[in-house]
Amino acid sequence: MYKAFAYAVVLLLLVGCTAQKIPQVEKETKLIKTQKEEVAKIKQKEVKKSEQKYRMFQTVDAKDATLVQDGKNKQYCVICGMDLVKFYKTSYSATYNDKEHQYCSIHCLSDHLGEGIEIKNPKVVDVTTLKLIPVLEAYYVVGSKKKGTMSKVSKYAFSTLKAAEIFQSKYGGEVMDFYGALEKAKEDFKHYR
């Protein structure tokens, strides 16, 4: 009887131990895993914050950029080779020789035009919506405090006069149409003078 009782106690202890130990270990591993995940999340957030802090005004997230060119050079200015996502807010698209081209700036667009070429359907990025809009429908803020691309005088485009004026009230500059902005861009080139 005593033997049977002792056997039962040992058995209970064993069952008790194994039953308790396994979930405990699982619990701890889970806890460490969640802690690790949380640390990784915080680190990711910090990296993103510092990226945004130091990123240029022209830069957008790749998912927000419309890139119209084909092939491996899709993401690069057809004239200077600069990254079109990095300089997206000053970017242009146009059809030349039945092919879509994309430029980092009005500087490179006017450089191309300076070769005497003819382009069709030129579009510029609207700083507010990040969509490409026809250049003739855009309102430009030229010479604001926000730095330009390939030029000391910046030229940012907006689809509405109101948006251009709000930008101008914050960062200065002059509101003008595409031809005004193009004339300013041409000043950077000797061959236009």
Binding site for Zn ion (CB under 5 A): 77, 79-80, 82, 104, 108
Taking alpha carbons only, the member of 99, 134, 133 closest to residue 117 is 99
Residue 78 or residue 127: which is nearer to Zn ion going by CB? 78
Residue 57: count other Cβ atoms within 10 Å of its Cβ: 18
Residue 143: count other Cβ atoms within 10 Å of its Cβ: 20
Q: Which helix (H) or strand (E) holds 140?
A: strand 139-142
At closest approach, how far in Å is the CB of 122 from Zn ion? 15
Q: Which helix (H) or strand (E) holds 123?
A: strand 120-125
The backbone torsions φ and ψ at residue 70, rounded to the nearest 5 degrees and listed phi first, read: -100, 165
Residue 46: count other Cβ atoms within 10 Å of its Cβ: 10
Residue 93 or residue 168: which is nearer to Zn ion going by CB? 93
Residue 77 or residue 182: which is nearer to Zn ion going by CB? 77
Residue 105 or residue 159: which is nearer to Zn ion going by CB? 105
At closest approach, how far in Å is the CB of 111 from Zn ion? 8
At closest approach, how far in Å is the CB of 73 from Zn ion? 12
At closest approach, how far in Å is the CB of 52 from Zn ion? 24
At closest approach, how far in Å is the CB of 99 from Zn ion? 17
Residue 80 or residue 130: which is nearer to Zn ion going by CB? 80
Report how far apart the first and last C-alpha atoms of the chain are (Å, whole number).
114
